[in-house]
Amino acid sequence: MSAAQWRGAMNAGAGRLARAGGAPARAAGVAVEGRGQARAWISGMVRPHHLVVLAFLFVYPFYASPFLTYQIGAQALALGLIALSLTLLGGYGGMVSLAQMTVAGIAGYMLAILGTSGEAGISLGWPWWLAALLGIGIATLAATLIGWLSARTEGIYTIMITIAIGVAFYYLCLQNYSVFNGFQGFQRVYAPTVLGIDFRDPVPFYFVALACALAGYFFVVYLLRTPFGIALQGVRDNARRMGALGFNVTAHRVAAYAVAGVIAAVGGILLTWYNGLIAPNSVGISALVNILIIAILGGMGHPVGPFLGAIVFVLLQTFAIDLIDRERFNLLIGLVFLGIVLFSPDGLLGLWARLREKLATLRPRAAFNRRRSQR
Confirm or reject binding of residue 326 to other proteins (CB under 8 A). Answer: yes
Among 187, 238, 250, 344, binds other proteins (CB under 8 A): 187
Tell me, what DSSP letter sits at residue 90?
Answer: I
Confirm or reject binding of residue 368 to other proteins (CB under 8 A). Answer: no
197 DSSP β-pair partners: 194
In the region spanning residues 110 to 149, those forming contacts with other proteins, defined by CB under 8 A, are 118
Among 6, 56, 58, 183, binds other proteins (CB under 8 A): 183
Question: How far apart are alpha carbons 266 and 133 in whole angstroms?
Answer: 9
Among 73, 135, 284, 299, binds other proteins (CB under 8 A): 284
Question: How far apart are alpha carbons 335 and 158 in whole angstroms?
Answer: 27
In the region spanning residues 210 to 269, those forming contacts with other proteins, defined by CB under 8 A, are none
Decide if 28 contacts 229 (C-beta within 8 A).
Answer: yes
Picking from 270, 317, 263, the residue whose alpha carbon sits closest to that of residue 290 is 317
Confirm or reject binding of residue 13 to other proteins (CB under 8 A). Answer: no
Question: How far apart are alpha carbons 237 and 207 in whole angstroms?
Answer: 37
The stretch among 123-131, 136-144, 175-183, 234-242 that binds other proteins (CB under 8 A) is 175-183
In the region spanning residues 48 to 77, those forming contacts with other proteins, defined by CB under 8 A, are 65-68, 70-71, 75
Picking from 225, 282, 228, 279, the residue whose alpha carbon sits closest to that of residue 252 is 228
Cβ proximity to other proteins: between 183 and 343 the closer is: 183
Confirm or reject binding of residue 327 to other proteins (CB under 8 A). Answer: yes
Among 58, 129, 177, 218, binds other proteins (CB under 8 A): 177
Cβ proximity to other proteins: between 153 and 281 the closer is: 281
What is the contact surface with other proteins in residues (CB under 8 A)? 65-68, 70-71, 75, 118, 175, 177, 182-185, 187-188, 200, 275-277, 279, 281-282, 284, 286, 317-318, 321, 326-327, 329-330
